[in-house]
Structure 1
Amino acid sequence: MGTPQSYRQIFNAASIIGSSAFLNMFLTMFRNKITAVLLGTSGMGLLGLFISLNSLASTAWGGGAAYSATRKIAECNNNFRKIALIVVSLRRFAIINGLLCMILLAIFSPLFSEVIFGSQKFIIPIICCGFAIFFTLQNNFLLAILQGYRDLYALAKIRIGVGLIGILLCLPCYYFWGHNGIVPFLILLAFGDWLLASYFVKKYRIRRVKLSWHRWGKTIRLLLSFGLYYMFFVFMADACNYFQNILLLQWYDLSICGIFQASRYLSGLLLSFILGAMGTDYYPRLAKITRDKEELNNAVNDQQNICLLLVFPGILAVMLFAPLAIKILYTDDFLPAVELIRFFSLSSLLQTFSFALSYLTIAHGDGKMLIISEMGAKTFETSSFCFLIWSGIYQLGALSLIVSGIVYLVLLLGISHWRYAVHVNKENFLLLLFMLIIIVISLGIYYCFQEMYWGYVINSLILFASSSYCLISLSKKLSFSLSDLCNRIKLRFYKE
């Protein structure tokens, strides 16, 4: 059982990043509304394909070196020479790989255009997308430095800045150029992100070191020893998402692809907001205590408990307000996404429970176990997705995430128990079971009452009761009264 101090440490980190992520969430939703109005469902689908291409290429060419560097910087304990060596090596690696990626993308652009879009008319946009990938690689290396230092305030400000830049850029790009403005928008956004991250990294005045090519190769090999495993894991996840988008495009059309993209975005919005905020501090903190089994076990269980209490009310709220959110953030053409969003809620809860366990392999630098767990889950997800949408009902594709979520959780529980001697406590298991039952009941009410008034009334009461329970439990663990808790959130929010 965790102490109030450990729970507060988790909550403090989450509140710093979370407040900025909360603002960024609304900025991103506003940007998606602009995209939906100006480009429609087909434009959302096209944007999703280019974002997936960008993510896939930057992951492959990043080699996981930036993520591995975060762990190494966190372990350096202010050894400035070692940190400088890692930073200089990573900067050179990002520039070289970014240029190589641009060249190869230009060479194979006709092939990519034919495979992805079934025509040759997207060759130029794919070539231009190489610039966005280049700046994304440079930005990832800068963010790795800030996360390694656990500079949460800088990371929080960058999140807000990225959201504002996205809105300022997407409006003119989409208004004047329509679908042709998607790639210019991605290039300008990546460049703006890089400039913003560069500004915050400068304050560390990282010392310059002379680095021979031999020493550089040795340092990069050290980073890639785990980084390549992590790269393969992220690449595999991005590839699965990209493959699913292509299947929807080939078997249905661009509009269905856009609807699926919107449903995934809205259902995952809360997870990316809360879990992303927590992971920013959780990863480097966990990397420091991997040798202390008792402290490690407590940290994982504390993190898991706080995650469930914070995420669960949001999952119920997304289920309840999905139709309203679709109308506000998109257009009525996207309303078929509501059913998908509600099914995704079960997957979201399973992902939340798995979150704290998933960082164990990464914090230990255990690449083999990382690949085993991720490959097992993604194999089940992709194969079940293909089988389910092949039936002709694309909504069944949502079930694939539930299947993969169960498989992933079982794998992580086994690995954490036998490999790292980390055991999930009974309290967290019972909490998960309670929340799963509530979600199943809520789903049953939606399907019994359809869109009738009483269905919303009953689920509103369930949301209120569940939120109250989570808030009271959270205040007890943090040893705060509810008023103190609200004041603390406000203080963190305005400090940004």
Structure 2
Amino acid sequence: MSSYKSVIKNVGLLSSAKIIFLALSVIRNKFTAVWLGADGMGIMSMFNAILSPATTLADMGVSTSAVRNIASSKDDYETARQVKAIQTFYVLSLLLTISIMVLLAGFLKRRMLTDSLGTWTVYALAFVAAFSVLSNFFNSVLQAKGKIAKLVTAQLYSTIIGSVFTLVIIYFFRIDGIVWGLLVGAMIGLPIGWYFFNKLHIPKVEISAKDSISIIKDLLLTGGLVTLAGFSATMCIVFAKVFLLNHLGLKVVGFYEVSVAFSNIYIGMILQSMGTDFFPRLCQVVGQPRQMYQLVNEQMEIGLLFATIGVDICLIIAPTLLITLYNSEFIAATDMLRWQCVGVGLRVLGYPLGYLLMAQRRNIAYFCLQLSFWCSYYLAITGGVRFFGMKFIGIDYIFAYAIYLCFGYILAYKTGLRPTPLLKKVFIFSLSSQFILLLSVFLLPPPYSYLVASIFYIYVLWKADQILKLHFEINLMANLRIMLSRIRLRIFKHDNSE
């Protein structure tokens, strides 16, 4: 039986929350860009470059492997044992992470931060990393237990309250307020995550040190390679940012941060919404190849179709988005954003392959797949910028994901995964639509480029709606009309009540 409707139901719930996250992110980035400019966005980017490897090493991939183990637990007692061992691991890991970051604070400050920022900034970032990892642990348990509504609620509260405090702090303290905003946001997420975690009523159990070590060892067997893959990813990003800082300056780092962040907002919303539901279900059918591969193909098919709708509109209105959501200074990142959008669109095809390898416990294959992407990405961005300058940023991402997809499909093909005719059809539709739109915006002068691209985008929407009706039993336009009718009805009732 097809799982399309199950996918849509869970994605609908998660996507509703992600839309709110998107709105908050837009507001936060807009005010930050206005108050701090490209230089401020560049500093925020370097903070993220410190936090990413720190949180990756502190987590050691345990939050990911915990989802797999808890989702496949036979009973509540086994779940409780897993949770108890994971909690012990995080206490030790976070104490070690904070200690290491404090010891390396001077080095990190000299190599990655501007002279105006003190060493105390790195001390604060150490606690941001610790609080963030603990919040992710609570969210992972909620995800593994299938409590999607609780997970969404916890994330909503954390994001809304954290965004308000962050903006207030940045407004009053400007550049110095960035790190304090990050710290307060991470602190707020901790008690909220703990509250919803406690509502699961996981029984308290006693577990011996020997059993704890055995469980942690099993988690790290997968999580360790996930961490190495994640660490290679974060370090490639760090090196790329340092390279851009040295070769093109802080403003370009700010443009790069905005381009990467914005291009990943829509695709990230799709991937996080689907992945939250997809990975636990995949782990449950890992011993049933037919169901497993059907699930992977269905995720790719529907994910790529929805990704195409978002990527195509972004190709058309990229400059307008940058001016509206940031300021006119960021118009220089238009081409960068367009190429980046095409690249992240390919992520929808790539992410199920990684989850498939993790569910099958093919840990070394998973590590090699992730490493192939980030190595090719770093080589592409450094080589491309040297030869072509800033205009190559974004194209490097397409190049790296092309390699990732080829390698990933070779690994999955050996175990029996085959692309369905529908997946091939959606892929050709997606690729051709983006090719035509890029030709329009690059070769035609405005306003003709926008006119031609807009007319073609109407066709893209019509074609996507036809595919959804025929193959997915989803009437996109009818659902939109129903939603608009409900909104109008509520407004009408509100007006009459007054």
TM class, shorter-length = over 0.9
Compared CA separation, residues 35 and 166, structure 1 to 2 (3 A): farther
Matches within 5 A, 1:34-73: 34-73=31-70
Mapped partners of 1:293, 1:230: distance in 2: 23
Amino acid at match of 1:477: H
**Structure 1 position 15, deviation (Å):** 0.6
**Structure 1 position 119, deviation (Å):** 5.0
Match of 2:452 in 1: 458
User: Number of residues paired by the alignment?
Assistant: 487
Mapped partners of 1:283, 1:219: distance in 2: 20
2:465–2:477 contact (8 Å) kept in structure 1: no
- Partner of 1:336, secondary structure, is helix
1:62–1:231 contact (8 Å) kept in structure 2: yes
1:173–1:184 contact (8 Å) kept in structure 2: yes
Deviation sequence 1:407-458 (CA, Å, 0-9, x none): 000001100111x2111123312321232122111111111124x1111011
Deviation sequence 1:190-214 (CA, Å, 0-9, x none): 1111122111111111111122322
2:316–2:437 contact (8 Å) kept in structure 1: no
Gaps of 5+ in 2: 488-498
Is 2:387 aligned against 1:391? yes
Match of 2:424 in 1: 429
Match of 1:448 in 2: 443
Mapped partners of 2:171, 2:373: distance in 1: 40
Match of 2:287 among 282, 287, 291: 291
Mapped partners of 1:347, 1:212: distance in 2: 48
Mapped partners of 2:54, 2:303: distance in 1: 31
Match of 1:175 in 2: 171
Match of 2:256 among 223, 246, 260: 260
Deviation sequence 1:150-189 (CA, Å, 0-9, x none): 1111122233223312321122211111111111111111
Match of 2:219 among 219, 223, 248: 223
Match of 2:275 in 1: 279
**Structure 1 position 126, deviation (Å):** 0.6
1:240–1:382 contact (8 Å) kept in structure 2: yes
Match of 1:473 in 2: 467
Amino acid at match of 1:245: K
421-430 or 482-491: which moved more? 482-491
- Partner of 2:146, secondary structure, is coil
Match of 1:203 in 2: 199
Compared CA separation, residues 383 and 480, structure 1 to 2 (3 A): closer
**Structure 1 position 42, deviation (Å):** 0.7
Matches within 5 A, 1:46-445: 46-77=43-74, 79-117=75-113, 119=115, 121-391=117-387, 393-418=389-414, 420-445=415-440
Deviation sequence 1:34-58 (CA, Å, 0-9, x none): 1111111111111111123212101
Q: TM-score, normalised by structure 2?
A: 0.94
Mapped partners of 2:10, 2:486: distance in 1: 10
Amino acid at match of 2:370: E
1:300–1:356 contact (8 Å) kept in structure 2: yes
**Structure 1 position 487, deviation (Å):** 7.5
Mapped partners of 1:115, 1:489: distance in 2: 52
Match of 2:7 among 10, 18, 23: 10
Compared CA separation, residues 296 and 72, structure 1 to 2 (3 A): same
**Structure 1 position 378, deviation (Å):** 1.3
Compared CA separation, residues 371 and 330, structure 1 to 2 (3 A): same
1:7–1:477 contact (8 Å) kept in structure 2: no
Mapped partners of 1:299, 1:491: distance in 2: 34
Compared CA separation, residues 255 and 207, structure 1 to 2 (3 A): same
Compared CA separation, residues 104 and 120, structure 1 to 2 (3 A): farther
Deviation sequence 1:99-130 (CA, Å, 0-9, x none): 11111111111111122237595311011111
Mapped partners of 1:120, 1:130: distance in 2: 19
**Structure 1 position 486, deviation (Å):** 3.7
Mapped partners of 1:260, 1:118: distance in 2: 18
Compared CA separation, residues 86 and 394, structure 1 to 2 (3 A): same
- Partner of 2:387, secondary structure, is coil
Mapped partners of 1:203, 1:491: distance in 2: 36
1:19–1:492 contact (8 Å) kept in structure 2: no
**Structure 1 position 473, deviation (Å):** 1.6
Mapped partners of 1:222, 1:487: distance in 2: 50
Mapped partners of 1:350, 1:479: distance in 2: 24
Amino acid at match of 1:24: F
Mapped partners of 1:118, 1:142: distance in 2: 34
2:255–2:333 contact (8 Å) kept in structure 1: yes
1:349–1:436 contact (8 Å) kept in structure 2: no
- Partner of 1:100, secondary structure, is helix
**Structure 1 position 345, deviation (Å):** 2.8
**Structure 1 position 141, deviation (Å):** 1.2
Mapped partners of 1:488, 1:84: distance in 2: 44
2:117–2:176 contact (8 Å) kept in structure 1: no
Deviation sequence 1:317-357 (CA, Å, 0-9, x none): 11112112111210111111111111123212322222322
Gaps of 5+ in 1: none
What is the root-mean-square deviation in Å for CA atoms of aligned residues? Answer: 2.0
Query: Which gives a bigger RCO, structure 1 or 2 (Cα 8 Å, sep 6+)?
Result: 1
Between the aligned residues of both structures, percent identity stands at 22
280-289 or 343-352: which moved more? 343-352
- Partner of 1:335, secondary structure, is helix
Mapped partners of 2:201, 2:349: distance in 1: 39
Mapped partners of 2:477, 2:460: distance in 1: 19
Amino acid at match of 2:41: M
Mapped partners of 1:484, 1:288: distance in 2: 34
1:29–1:329 contact (8 Å) kept in structure 2: yes
Compared CA separation, residues 32 and 397, structure 1 to 2 (3 A): same
Q: TM-score, normalised by structure 1?
A: 0.94
